[in-house]
Amino acid sequence: MLKVIWENRDNLPYAWKVLNRGVCDGCALGVAGLHDWTIKGVHLCMTRLNLLRLNTMPAMPEEALKDVASLRGMSNRSLRSLGRLAYPMLRRKGEPGFKRVSWDETFSSLGKHFRDADPRRAAFFVTARGVTNEVYYMAQKVARFLGTNHVDNAARLCHAPSTAAMKRTLGIAATTCSYKDWIGTDLLVFFGSNPANDQPVSTKYLHEAKAAGTKVVMVNPYREPGMERYWVPSNASSAMFGTAITDHWFSVHQGGDIAFLSGVSKIMIQEGWINRSFVEDHTEGFEVWKEHLQALSWDSLERDAGLPRAAMLEMAKLLRDARNAVLVWSMGITQHGFGTDAVQAILNLGLAQGYLGRDFNGLMPIRGHSSVQGGAEMGAYSTVFPGGIPINSDNAAQLSQQYGFEVPDWPGYSAVEMIEAADQGDLDILYSIGGNFLRTLPDPNQVSQALSRVPVRVHQDILMTDQALLDGGQEVWLLPARTRYEQRDGGVETSTERRVMFSPEIPRQVGEAMSEWEILRELAIRTFPERAHLIGCESGWAMREEIARIVPFYDGIQHLRQTGDAFQYGGPHLCPDGVCPTSDGRARFHATPLPGLGHQEGTYWVSTRRGKQFNSLIYSEVDPLNGAPRNAVLISQEDCEREGLAQGDGVMLRSDTGQFSGVAWPVRITPGNLQIHWPEGNDLIATGRTDKGGGVPAYNARVTLATEP
């Protein structure tokens, strides 16, 4: 805490206002000021405190960017410490660095570029770093006003498979329950997620859940220390002795969840431990799913899961005895080439038990970054219009009528496809609102090459990142953005539990930074001034009025005025009493094939993990929860012994794509599996392997391991 005060010492009053009045710009758990809607007491964590400096830091001197060669090689952490982007800047091909330009020149030049461009060769990407629903909404509206559906957001890299699987299964693409349902449910199961690290205050909810008798289950290759025991600082007994969180661990192989869940489901069907009445009254496709499971051999299930049938039986018994359960999952499930199927396997199990539409039950894709939930709902998604409406000619015609201008009816590029298009020379303009493709996508070398090929690259951001230092085909622009707190007329964020929360404007002016939605809006106006009147949304208040009309389930957003104002769209539970918003009100089972990753002698499956960081912003070289440095290779004790390794010994991992030099870090992880930090491990990950349903890259690879002196 003293470190945080010291870091923000030049602007402590503003830091306090952000904490006391703002909606947290960290994760998507959701809090307004210092209080949430789930438990009493103060809601605050180190992630939020670490992010404070982004909101209090002064402007970067404009001469800091006059020579990019001197900045190359600096870490993003060092680039961040240069200060806030304060002025529009331009670097033309062949120039050593960025030069300050006026906003007028910026809009004039970019407007001409967009006016001249083929809309199919222009793309927009919106990050999840604290941007508000207004920014998502305006980004998609401007993209469509300019004639392109190439607009996507950071959800594409995390929970897009959840969106795809939930939509086809339940007719909705959001968490079906509330956090309150964790507290007192019989069983709370986490698949491939580590909330102790990624949503820290959720440990307070877990502490209360344990006190209410809830059993916690982890299905994860690594026994995450933060989920074994966590010290909740605001609770006296927990602060002293810790809270034992997890009751049952199932250490599957990475990518073994479908096999494990299929085995569990197969047992439950065989034993008749299914909620028959729910299946009959509220679902379709059960028999097809059952036949699929019956055809799977136990050998293949055990081999792929990395666990014996006895473990699947143990899990099946826990579910049999749980009248209520909440199933929670995250990127350990989704970031695979078969992410949609892995989510589907969880949904199938939840449907078979009827964990839907009532108190203490739910299906929860827990979100990592603030407001990422709202991205697709606002339409900043290459495959849907606002409200999650699929892109087709009928829906395009309807939106065109509402907007008064023609909206394209063809699906756009996903985030990954934008980079592929750039690499192939098929993009003339790439407009990035935050984000850092260079650090977030697999194979940074290929990403670097692709970005450098785009003739006009625009980086609208609050800070400098290393992707903005890459040479451009012709021009690279830096557009200084206000933070969510500085945003004119305030802004809203949607949390994992679908709570739409208002964060008021907390005025501050850094250089010439503009609100992100205002930059986008002005760009559209200057591109086609003759149609400028069709953009509307002259203020944040007017935009929220429009959102309420275009996205009916956001009705109410227009009435939010001050800190604490919020509503939960759909109420505490979606699919109330098991009735889903599908054409016939029924949910649908879908069979999920085994990915058959296989674990070959002499190789390991490596996947990437988060440490003390927020997105690609790294706050500590050591993860306080397990003591691992950033170059740690998490490996099982058995594998260490077999390889003759001790903690700290040098190891080299090699995949078909690249290599990673690190140190062995023995932990309790399923043998045959390794974990390394993201984004450092991205060199090992190949491009081109994405989930068919959601478009998420597979952030894992088969590697060999060699010792290094």
For ligand SF4, the binding residues (CB under 6 A) are 24, 26-27, 29-31, 43-45, 47-48, 199-201
Among 322, 83, 68, 286, which residue's Cα sits nearest to residue 184?
Answer: 322
The nearest distance, CB 178 to ligand SF4, in angstroms, is: 15
- Cβ distance to ligand SF4 smaller for residue 33 or 161: 33
Name the residue with tokens 């250490």: 251
- Cβ distance to ligand SF4 smaller for residue 11 or 199: 199
The nearest distance, CB 203 to ligand SF4, in angstroms, is: 9
Positions of E strands within 184-291: 187-191, 215-219, 229-230, 243-244, 248-250, 283-284
- Cβ distance to ligand SF4 smaller for residue 28 or 651: 28
The nearest distance, CB 506 to ligand SF4, in angstroms, is: 16
- Cβ distance to ligand SF4 smaller for residue 43 or 609: 43
The terminus-to-terminus CA distance of the chain in angstroms comes to 39
The nearest distance, CB 373 to ligand SF4, in angstroms, is: 12
The nearest distance, CB 205 to ligand SF4, in angstroms, is: 10
- Cβ distance to ligand SF4 smaller for residue 563 or 687: 563
If you ran DSSP here, which 8-state letter would residue 613 be given? E
Among 551, 504, 447, which residue's Cα sits nearest to residue 125?
Answer: 447
The nearest distance, CB 34 to ligand SF4, in angstroms, is: 9
* 100 and 89 Cβ atoms separated by less than 8 Å: yes
Name the residue with tokens 């951001």: 461
- Cβ distance to ligand SF4 smaller for residue 47 or 335: 47
What is the rounded CA–CA span in Å between residue 339 and residue 131? 26
* 286 and 621 Cβ atoms separated by less than 8 Å: no
Name the residue with tokens 């960025």: 98
- Cβ distance to ligand SF4 smaller for residue 24 or 523: 24
- Cβ distance to ligand SF4 smaller for residue 351 or 506: 506
Strand partners, 578: none
DSSP 345-414: HHHHHHHHHT--SSTT-EEEE---STTHHHHHHTT-BTTEEGGGEEPSHHHHHHHHHHHTSPPP-S----
The nearest distance, CB 188 to ligand SF4, in angstroms, is: 17
Residue 652: both structure tokens together = 């080299």
If you ran DSSP here, which 8-state letter would residue 665 be given? E
Amino acid at 468: A
The nearest distance, CB 179 to ligand SF4, in angstroms, is: 11
- Cβ distance to ligand SF4 smaller for residue 19 or 389: 19
Residue 411: both structure tokens together = 């699906």
What is the rounded CA–CA span in Å between residue 357 and residue 360? 9
The nearest distance, CB 46 to ligand SF4, in angstroms, is: 8
If you ran DSSP here, which 8-state letter would residue 537 be given? -
Among 546, 542, 519, 484, which residue's Cα sits nearest to residue 139?
Answer: 519
CA dihedral 358, 359, 364, 369 (to 10 degrees): 130
- Cβ distance to ligand SF4 smaller for residue 35 or 590: 35
Contacts of 321 (CB under 8 A, 6+ apart): 186
- Cβ distance to ligand SF4 smaller for residue 26 or 694: 26
Among 228, 223, 178, 224, which residue's Cα sits nearest to residue 205?
Answer: 178
The nearest distance, CB 31 to ligand SF4, in angstroms, is: 5
Q: At what angle do helices 103-116 and 516-527 cross, to 10 degrees?
A: 60
- Cβ distance to ligand SF4 smaller for residue 159 or 282: 159
What is the rounded CA–CA span in Å between residue 546 and residue 561? 16
* 7 and 49 Cβ atoms separated by less than 8 Å: no
- Cβ distance to ligand SF4 smaller for residue 569 or 614: 614
The nearest distance, CB 201 to ligand SF4, in angstroms, is: 4
Residue nearest to ligand SF4 (CB): 26
- Cβ distance to ligand SF4 smaller for residue 372 or 701: 372
The nearest distance, CB 48 to ligand SF4, in angstroms, is: 4
Contacts of 218 (CB under 8 A, 6+ apart): 189, 190, 224, 227, 246, 248, 249, 250
The nearest distance, CB 355 to ligand SF4, in angstroms, is: 24
The nearest distance, CB 480 to ligand SF4, in angstroms, is: 25
* 360 and 214 Cβ atoms separated by less than 8 Å: no
